[in-house]
Amino acid sequence: MEKLSTQVAIIGSGPAGLLLGQLLYKAGIDHLIIEQRSADYVAARIRAGILEQVSVDLLRKAGVAENLEKYGLPHDGIEILTHQKKHRINLNKLTGGKQVTVYGQTEVTKDLMQARESQQLQTFYEADNVRIHDFDTQPYVTFDNKRQSFRIDCQFIAGCDGFHGVCRASVPQEKIKTFEKVYPFGWLGVLADVPPVSEELIYVQSERGFALCSMRSNTRSRYYIQVPITDSVENWSDEAFWAELKNRLDEDSRNKLVTGASIEKSIAPLRSFITEPMRFGKLFLAGDAAHIVPPTGAKGLNLAASDIGFLAEAFIEYFNRHSEHGIDNYSQKCLARVWKAERFSWWMTHLLHRFDTESEFDHRMKQAELSYILESFAGQSSLAENYVGLPFEADVKLAALNA
Ligand code: FAS
Ligand code: PHB
């Protein structure tokens, strides 16, 4: 068995693990990443598409924002289509100048992986039998890689290994509490090299179900339609997908839609999931390892980034300023933000998706709520400030209200 030691062992090289690695490198903190999949597999994964300003700022701080600055598409608004009518939510005006950036998670991952490689930072890809040990006292990680067994002694373990990872699963049941809601539908997503139907995203609420018109660039589009959780991608030819998407659009969008061959097609299940706490001794969970949101609010990737912002700062305080304040407050700071994003993602999902089991009264309540939101400045402001990403501190103007 080969023995190595480091300050922080990062499990998982998705956006959370890679961003943490990059921020620790910038702060001169020794670390390594252990990933079960191959580098090609990680780089090819297609997932999120929207970055909050918080995430853009962190990627800039990590020194990996060159492509993002060049190819990212800043967006000042989104559209909500209901009853064949589009309503623009002016994110920029409603939030005092904030915006989101369209830039695929695939590209974020590649930018971080390229930086890591050029900096010759250690990543063990295709690691098997990854196990974490003694994370309450003197933590270490064991795994097999290229027919060699490894033991990594470390001061902290960062569990960035996603929803199905080993880290959260290694915490004794009596020390962890989880909250979960599984939705009775999924998102059938298609990626195609066709121009987007609209300059901004269109969130569709229709009697046939939810749809989303998104993009990766001005020549590559990302579309989703709600399908039953029992559905399978084999049931959907490209033609069937485009026909159903058109059925859910308004006439103008239907006529503008450019269809084409899918380069990726998959069904993602929707769930809300939260772990409390997010710290267990010397083990810190971040990103999907700790929480999952339905993608309706475009929060998954952005929550992973804000967790990492807090965790990197905590490790920097510990190693470079000899303070335990950050690590002691990590879980509470993350969860304060996670729960609000969970609520917004659940609310957007509830409002825009078709639920076959809801009563006629509940359906009419949802219609009334959506009408109120679309016709109310306060309602649209609330949607907008959640969509662009809530500030890390409470709104100072609020305090002035009751001064
Ligand atoms: P990730 O799951 O991305 O990365 C975890 C990494 O850990 C993976 O590379 C995995 O291989 C590795 N790993 C797992 N077990 C391991 C082990 N035992 N040992 C070592 N490594 C291990 N979010 C949005 O905002 N919008 C979207 O449209 C959207 N679509 C999504 C579609 C799908 C199918 C999925 C699954 C998620 C989607 N998300 C979306 C959420 C997604 O973007 C996540 O929030 C984001 O990937 C979180 O990043 P990480 O926390 O790094 O987790
Ligand atoms: C995407 O482009 O993949 C995307 C955009 C917004 C969402 C979810 C997914 O809310």
Ligand 2 pocket test: which of 47, 50, 197 has the largest number of ligand atoms within 8 Å of its C-beta? 50
Q: Which ligand is nearest to the CA of 200?
A: 2
Spacing of C-alpha 251 from chain mean position? 32
pLDDT tens-place string over residues 323-356: 999 999 999 999 999 999 999 999 999 999 999 9
Whole-number Å distance between alpha carbons of 318 and 224: 43
Per cent of the chain over pLDDT 70 is 98
Q: Among this protein's residues, is 269 annotated catalytic?
A: no
The domains located in the chain, with CATH, are 2-179+271-395 (3.50.50.60)
* 162 CA → ligand 1 middle, Å: 5
Please tell me the predicted confidence (pLDDT) of residue 403: 74
Cβ neighbour number for residue 375 with a 10 Å cutoff: 10
Determine which one of 139, 196, 294, 295 is catalytic.
Answer: 295
Instruction: Give kind and range of the element (H or E) at residue 368.
Output: helix 360-375
pLDDT tier, 402 (very low <50, low <70, confident <90, very high otherwise) = confident
DSSP character for 121? -
Q: What is the pLDDT of residues 245-289, one digit of tens each?
A: 999 999 999 999 999 999 999 999 999 999 999 999 999 999 999
What is the percent of the chain with per-residue pLDDT over 90, rounded to a whole number? 97
Catalytic residue among 15, 31, 75, 224: 75
| pLDDT for the residue 393 | 67
Residue-wise pLDDT tens digits, 226-255: 999 999 999 999 999 999 999 999 999 999
User: What digits encode the pLDDT tens for the residues 74-107?
Assistant: 999 999 999 999 999 999 999 999 999 999 999 9
- 329 C-beta neighbours (distance < 10 Å), count: 14
pLDDT at residue number 392:
76
Closest of 66, 45, 189, 153 to residue 118, by C-alpha: 66
Quick one: which ligand is closest to 160's CA?
1
- Ligand 1 neighbours by CB, cut-off 6 Å: 11-17, 34-37, 42, 47-49, 105, 127, 130, 160-162, 164-166, 268, 287-289, 295, 298-301, 304
Euclidean distance between CA atoms 231 and 244, whole angstroms: 14
Contact 25, 62 (CB under 8 A): no
Instruction: Record the pTM.
Output: 0.96
Token pair of 229 as six digits: 């959780």
pLDDT single digits (tens) 347-370: 999 999 999 999 999 999 999 999
d(CA 315, CA 295): 29
DSSP letter at 22?
A: H
pLDDT per position as a tens digit, 14-47: 999 999 999 999 999 999 999 999 999 999 999 9
Summarised one tens digit per residue, pLDDT across range 148-199 is: 999 999 999 999 999 999 999 999 999 999 999 999 999 999 999 999 999 9
The reported pLDDT for the residue numbered 168 is 98
- pLDDT for res 189: 98
What ligand has the least distance to the C-alpha of 293? Answer: 1
- Tokens at 132, concatenated: 């974490």
Torsion of Cα atoms, 57 then 61 then 66 then 71, to 10°: -20
Q: Is the pLDDT score of 397 beyond 80?
A: no
Q: Is the pLDDT of residue 396 over 70?
A: no
pLDDT recorded at residue 11: 98
Name the DSSP class of 1: -
What's the CA-to-centroid distance between 24 and ligand 1, angstroms?
Answer: 20
Q: What is the mean pLDDT of the chain?
A: 96
- Specify whether 140 is catalytic: no
